[in-house]
Amino acid sequence: MAKINVGIKFRPNLSSDVEKQEKWIVDGKTIKSVDNKHTLQFEHVFGSTSVTEEVYDALAKPIVKKAFKGFNGTIFAYGQTSSGKTHTMIGKNKMPGIIPLAVRDIFHEINKTEDREFVVKIGYIEIYNDKVYDLFEDGKTELSIFESNGHVLVNQKEYVAVSEKEVMKQFGVGNKCKKMTGTKTNKDSSRSHAIFRITIKSQKKDDAEDSRTSSLFLVDLAGSEKPDASATTTFNEGLHINQSLLVLGKIIRELAKKNSSLKRVNFRECKLTRILSPALGGNSYASVICTAAPTVLDETYHTLCFAQNAEKVKTVPVINTTKKAEEFPPHLLQNSSSTLPVTLSSRFKFVCENSKQISPFSTSTIFKNFRSVKPELIKKAATRAVAVNSSLIYRASAKVSDNREQPSWYCEGSKDHVEQFELSESTSEEEQADYEGIIKEKDNIIKKLKDEVRELRTENMEMRTKVEGNNEILSEKEQEIVELKEKIARFDEEIIINSSAIRDSEVKIGNFENQLLKMTEEKNTMKAEKGE
């Protein structure tokens, strides 16, 4: 099990706080009110001078790493309006928030991982007046929530992203569609809960069965102030914001109790808690960043109480990976295909009798269907289906006695599969063909995406090869330039030396010419004297 990590982040004083006195003192991990009425301690406390990257390293980065390994993760910011939630989650300019830092680290890990192939998908929704809207569809498309295999899903639009830059660009597009309203404490206050989802799918290059799929939820909650704290907030907005946060606080308190059971917790009271249910009581790692204003007493104390309860909540993270046959509980798998039909038939009959439900399949039908299947096909299907089937049997038989102990492999999401088993034999072949067509179409899309990724990687490798080749040529040219410069320098030296020699020679020639001229004059003088 893992507990929810909680951190308290105090924002710096704003210009509007100049005339206000600080109501809280931060001393290491201890937070104390100035009037000494409240003293609380937390594992992670960040004063008003701390930066977002410190918060990220302590609370978010470990969850991002877990998400990269196949675990689901959730990071959400809770606090009153104008306490720094959006600044912490998104950031500004050269001060990136939790979301851009997480995206940066995800693609950094992808780029340095060579033995796996990755697909990253992103989605962005907001919950406004307890209705879910797609921020990638102008924020006007209302979405529905449904459950499948124990997972809470939203039929939102998702984008496949291949780079950090592409993710942040699309994220910015979604932010422009958020519902914003000016309040007494913040002129640009978000009046909705925003949930940014990053899905990471990976597969080992040499092992198709070794695949992982994880979801990272990054949540910026609306302000948690009391109804009268924002005079300009519309009644309907304030009502739904406070109602959803009230339900969230109630669920946190319930989960924080010792011996608390998930069966008693109603996550369906509002859309927010229904979507966050995997993080609050499911298979996800989670961190809560509680933002607070140092000049506010009551609302900050309310936030700190929420944080104290959240620290006591525990989850059971499970890696989302493809299971091989040997990973299923050994007592579920049968060594002989001949005994498998009898085992499944007897268990199914037991469930139907004890749960007082009318089964659309008779025992004879089950025997007939199993006998018509080749033993080798039964063996192949068993490793993929028997664990789910056994969990269905357990869930259905649990209706008979609530005292029956749940095995460690019990799957909470098997309700949907039980309902599928209760379908009548009247399902038409046309419907089955439609489902097969949809599956085939999805497989083709996945294949095309893989081909595109493979082509992009090939192009990337070719570009890298070209760049490396150009770098080598550039290096050679630079070396040639260096050698030419050295030759020019040597030529310059030789020119200087030769110039000096030429000057010496010219002097000597001049001397010789003077001597020759003198000798010529002397000769002429001597001839003249003889002639006389």
What is the set of domains in the chain, with CATH numbers? Answer: 2-315 (3.40.850.10), 325-426 (no CATH)
The DSSP bridge partners found for residue 44 are 7
Across 54-63, 240-249, 253-262, 287-296, least confident range: 253-262
Residue 336, number of CB atoms within 10 A of its CB: 10
Residue 432 scores a pLDDT above 80: no
State residue 207's pLDDT score: 84
**CB < 8 Å & 24+ apart, contacts of 464-471:** none
152 DSSP 8-state letter: E
pLDDT band at 48, cuts 50/70/90?
very high
Annotated ligand binding at 447? The verdict is no
Residue 91, sorted as left (phi over 0), alpha (psi -120 to 50) or beta, turns out to be: left
Better-predicted residue by pLDDT, 110 or 260: 110
Please check the confidence at residue 19 and state whether its pLDDT lies above 70.
Answer: yes
CA 424 to CA 336: how far, in whole Å?
29
- Alpha carbon distance 316, 322 (integer Å): 18
The pLDDT of 343-369, averaged and rounded, is: 42
- Average pLDDT over every residue of 268-284: 89
**What mean pLDDT is predicted for residues 131-135?**
94
- Predicted confidence at residue 339, as pLDDT, reads 44
Select from 155, 159, 123 the least CA-distant residue to 142.
155
- Predicted confidence at residue 235, as pLDDT, reads 56
Q: Which residue has the tokens 């029956």?
A: 404
**Per-residue pLDDT at 97:** 97
Hey, is 198 helix, strand or coil? strand
pLDDT at 392: 47
DSSP string, 148-184: ETTEEEE----EEE-SHHHHHHHHHHHHTTS-EE--S
Residue 20 pLDDT level (bands cut at 50, 70, 90): confident
Residue 30 has pLDDT above 60, yes or no: yes
Give the angle subtended at the CA of 135 by the CAs of 200 and 248, to the nearest 5°. 80
Is 33 annotated to bind a ligand? Reply is no
Predicted confidence (pLDDT) per residue in 176-194, tens digit: 998 876 555 555 566 789 9
pLDDT of residue 464: 79
Is the model's pLDDT at 196 over the cut of 70?
yes
227 vs 59, more confident: 59
User: Bigger pLDDT: 138 or 237?
Assistant: 138
Nearest residue to 180 via CA among 228, 226, 220: 220
The Cα 26–Cα 389 span in angstroms is 54
Q: Can you give the pLDDT at residue 515?
A: 86
What is the pLDDT at residue 189? 62
Q: What is the mean pLDDT of residues 516-523?
A: 85
Report yes or no: 179 and 190 within 8 Å, Cβ to Cβ: yes
pLDDT of 423 higher than 70? no
Task: Provide the pLDDT for residue 148.
Answer: 74
510 is in an annotated binding site: no
In this structure, the strands spanning 193-204 and 116-128 are antiparallel
The rounded mean pLDDT for the chain is 78
Residue 84 is labelled as binding a ligand: yes
Statement: residue 448 has pLDDT above 90: no
What was the pLDDT predicted at 505? 81
pLDDT at residue 286, as a whole number: 96
CA gap 158, 154 in Å, rounded = 11
Q: Is 73 annotated as contributing to ligand binding?
A: no
Question: Distances from the Cα of 15 to the Cαs of 21, 121, 280, 350, in angstroms?
Answer: 13, 40, 36, 71
User: Is 83 annotated to bind ligand?
Assistant: yes
What's 27's DSSP letter?
A: E
How many Cβ atoms are within 10 Å of 206's Cβ, its own excluded? 8
